[in-house]
Amino acid sequence: MITAKPPKLCSKPIATDRDGNRIHNEILLQLPANERRLLLARVEFVRLKTHHVLHEARRSIRSVYFIDSGLASVLSVMRDGRCVEVGLIGKEGLVGSAVIAGFRKSFTRVITQVDATAAFRLDANVLIGLLDQSPDLRRRLQRFSQVAAVQLAQIAACNGLHQVQQRLARWLLMSQDRIGSKSVPLTQEFLALMLGTRRSSVTIAAGILQKAGIITYTRGNVTIRSRSALEAAACECYQLIREHVEEENGSGT
């Protein structure tokens, strides 16, 4: 009896830049090959330390960043220096999408949250010049800008309406989605800044989640032990944002 051989599986080629750096950014990966080559010929691969400022509020946008790994936090900054997080950007997006609409200054401060965050950096003027030659890139950046606006609106509502414990759960879920790890490196001081609340409130909220066996918190690091329980502990904002993005991605091509 002749035994049929299993079919050979064709592995998808790994996309890299001209220096061999592997590409994880979803916008870059979804581009047609000709547009991606055109863009990659002009970008610079960079690794950034925690709390590196990518854009400062009300300052000129000189470069944009296609986040390849790690996490960037978008902060709304008051005149007295106080700030609160209004968005998160990971490998799904771009820091500096305001230039697509013709804005030359950033309204928000954007900083890295994870050590060794990697990105493909591009001069803002070069990106603008490429858009006429790259219709798919333009469309994908416009879609991402809308997703970022939805996220900003929902997080603003979340900060005003929901308890710290729910907001903490939502933040951890959003962070895990972007960095792809159960461990999220952060301090309580920084998380209090992100959530716009007191450190003591974060301590209490983290303690409740830890006591329930949902997370483990050690100095400078949170480990998610039960993803499903964390989703149950979060407010509705996480699912609302996620469902909207999934629906729109499903309707777009």
30 and 151 in a single domain? The answer is yes
What H or E segment, with its residue span, contains residue 170?
A: helix 164-179
Q: For residue 32, what pLDDT is reported?
A: 96
The answer to whether 89 touches 107, Cβ cutoff 8 Å, is no
Determine the pLDDT at residue 3.
45
* Residue 11, domain member (yes or no): no
Percentage of residues in the chain having pLDDT higher than 70: 92
Q: What is the pLDDT along the chain (253 residues), one digit of tens a residue?
A: 444 444 444 445 678 888 889 999 999 999 999 999 999 999 999 999 999 999 999 999 999 999 999 999 999 999 998 888 899 999 999 999 999 999 999 999 999 988 879 999 999 999 999 999 999 999 999 999 999 999 999 999 998 899 999 999 999 999 999 998 898 887 777 788 778 788 889 889 999 999 999 999 887 789 999 999 999 999 999 999 888 888 766 655 5
What is the tally of structural domains in the chain?
2
pLDDT tens, residue by residue, 164-180? 999 999 999 999 999 98
Is there a contact between 62 and 124 (Cβ–Cβ < 8 Å)? yes
What is the residue range of 77's domain? 26-158
Determine, yes or no, domain membership for 16: no
Q: In this predicted structure, what is the pLDDT of residue 221?
A: 86
SS3 content of the chain, % helix, strand, coil (to 5): 45, 25, 35
- Residues 146 and 172 placed together within one structural domain of the fold: no
**pLDDT value for 10:** 43
Q: Are 134 and 74 within one domain? A: yes
Domain limit, last residue, from 108, 139, 158: 158
Residue 8 belongs to some domain of the structure: no
Of 210, 219, 205, 208, residue with least CA distance to 168: 205
Please tell me the pTM assigned to this model: 0.89
Q: Which residues contact residue 111 at a Cβ distance below 8 angstroms, ignoring those fewer than 6 apart?
A: 51, 52, 53, 54, 72, 73, 75
Q: What pLDDT is recorded for position 124? A: 97
